[in-house]
Amino acid sequence: MNWLSLKSGSDVRGTAAGEGIELTEKIAAKLGAAFSAMLAERKGKTIDAISISLGRDSRITGEKLLNAAAEGIASAGANAVKFGMCTTPAMYMSTITPGFEQDGAIMITASHHPWNKNGLKFFTREGGLEGKEVEQLLKTAAEQGDELTSAGSRGSITEKAFLPVYTKQLADRIRSGLKTDEPEPLAGLHVAVDAGNGAGGFYASMLKNLGAEIDGSQFLEPDGMFPNHIPNPENKDAMASLRKAVLASGADLGVIFDADCDRAAVVDADGKEINRNRLIALISAILLEAQPGQTIVTDSVTSSGLKQFIEAHGGTHYRFKRGYRNVIDEAIRLNQENISCPLAIETSGHAALKENHFLDDGMYLVTVLIVKAMEMKKRGLRLGSLIADLREPVEAAEIRLSITDPDFRTRGNEAIQQVTAFAEKEDSWHIAPDNREGIRISFDLNGQPDSGWFLLRLSVHDPVMPLNAESDTPGGVRTMLAALFRVLSGMEGICLDDLKKAAEAE
């Protein structure tokens, strides 16, 4: 077996049910043992002093994989603490919360992926493991024999409840944000919660306990088959379902989480979806209102309109590479250089706030938004009014160009270099000054400065070149993609069929 094929960014992930199973209980057990050894070495402790918490989302394979990982931990001589159903952000919080302070944590989840997938995310008090660390963990696990028992004594497996503690942390953030000790600080606010049958259904109960009305909330019960819609804030059907629930119930706000609650999106009272660029604009407006002059770090595919919005609200927009760990690490680095940066956020909905340990926590993000929604409700205003001046594109497109060359990374970089070389000598092609990934080109369409752009980049893991384009004028996307097609035409090893189709579309 190729263990490294289970690596997905900074996670372990694979098929865990149905046909073609890759992620087995045996693998989970070996990874639990390997993580125990890694923590003992790093912390300079004997392995019997190591304690690791484990949680899972609602997937049908979650419980057995959690139990297997716990068995691997105990067999290695360390101590496993099972939390049961939990969220990914809560697992990190268990490493720093007084009374728990675990040496490490493991979350069994595959985020928004289909029911038959599952995976493991690993945390220490310093944050989630990075990709290289996960790769080393997989190599260590692969080298283990079938016998996991350590030379010393077997560790323990215990059960403990942490979700109530995490829930209280969120409730305390609402009270502190509203500057009140009232038992029902959300009285008068109506929020519809869509948990997508993942792990986040408890959030609706928390809001109700704080005085909010939650009529219209849906799919709160955990169901690992995800029978109603994919638990994904980027999914059109999922957002349409929440939009319908908000409008039907007359809610002030709708919120939706992915299965493990590290990503989120919202719907305003008028049914307008607030995700991707709108979500970034909304949280940026709130943070910049509190403290102007700060820097907002996002991924590379954000719009020109968002950049203008952040600058108009007194901030600096800093585009960086795709990947939630990339934007988080860059935001941390900027703060270390005394550049005030309160937020690292991807268009996918991964959002990490400095005030929350730069933990990508969709539920914490929504909690901050609900505090603002409550403040505005008291003034007769809607949350969505904060982004009324966000300029959005007239057209947008996303195409994934398949790379057929076996050496896909080299071929992809050659394509980027070819586009870059053309842009450097073509006056009408403007290379973005903050180009930090692939090649981003802006255009002056129909005489309007900076009214269109495309970004061509290489996927981190797959033989694919994602291509994003936006235009402020009708027909602009086709014009830009036609120009790009002419530049790449004739290049071997990349399938340009979809690009050609988009370039020729009427």
Report the run of H or E that residue 88 belongs to, with start and end. Answer: helix 88-93
Q: Cβ neighbours of residue 121 under 8 Å, at least 6 residues apart?
A: 10, 11, 12, 88, 91, 106, 107, 109, 128
Q: Which of 127, 141, 123, 134 is CA-nearest to residue 33?
A: 141
DSSP code of residue 383: G
Tell me the CATH architecture of domain 166-387: 3-Layer(aba) Sandwich (3.40)
One digit per residue, the tens of pLDDT, for the chain of length 506 reads 789 999 988 899 999 999 999 999 999 999 999 999 999 999 999 999 999 999 999 999 999 999 999 999 999 999 999 999 999 999 999 999 999 999 999 999 999 999 999 999 999 999 999 999 999 999 999 998 666 555 568 999 999 999 999 999 999 999 999 999 999 999 999 999 999 999 999 999 999 999 999 999 999 999 999 999 999 999 999 999 999 999 999 999 999 999 999 999 999 999 999 999 999 999 999 999 999 999 999 999 999 999 999 999 999 999 999 988 899 999 999 999 999 999 999 999 999 999 999 999 999 999 999 999 999 999 999 999 999 999 999 999 999 999 999 999 999 999 999 999 999 999 999 999 999 999 999 999 998 998 999 999 998 778 999 999 999 999 999 999 999 999 999 899 999 999 999 998 76
Distance CA 198, CA 255 (A): 13
Task: Give the three-class secondary structure for 498.
Answer: helix
Task: Give the three-class secondary structure for 199.
Answer: coil
Confirm whether 75 is a catalytic residue: no
DSSP code of residue 255: E
Please list the residue range(s) of the chain that carry CATH number 3.40.120.10.
Answer: 3-161, 166-387
Distance CA 332, CA 358 (A): 8
Cβ neighbours of 491 (radius 10 Å)? 14
Q: What CATH code would you report for 395-504?
A: 3.30.310.50
DSSP code of residue 76: T
Q: Which two tokens stand for residue 362?
A: 């969709």
Report the run of H or E that residue 266 belongs to, with start and end. Answer: strand 264-268
The pLDDT value recorded for residue 230 is 93
The pLDDT value recorded for residue 505 is 79
Instruction: Give, in words, the CATH class of 3-161.
Output: alpha beta
Whole-structure pTM value = 0.94
Distance CA 282, CA 371 (A): 13
The pLDDT value recorded for residue 461 is 73
The pLDDT value recorded for residue 247 is 98
The pLDDT value recorded for residue 352 is 97
Question: DSSP string spanning 328-376?
Answer: HHHHHHHHHTT----EEE-TTSBEEEGGGTTEE-HHHHHHHHHHHHHHH
The amino acid sitting at 79 is N
The amino acid sitting at 444 is D
Cβ neighbours of 63 (radius 10 Å)? 16
Please list the residue range(s) of the chain that carry CATH number 3.30.310.50.
Answer: 395-504
The pLDDT value recorded for residue 150 is 55
Give alpha helix (H) positions in 96-201. 131-143, 163-177
Q: Which of 53, 94, 111, 303 is catalytic?
A: 111
| Integer angstrom CA distances of residue 16 from 19, 107, 108, 119, 125 | 9, 15, 11, 8, 28
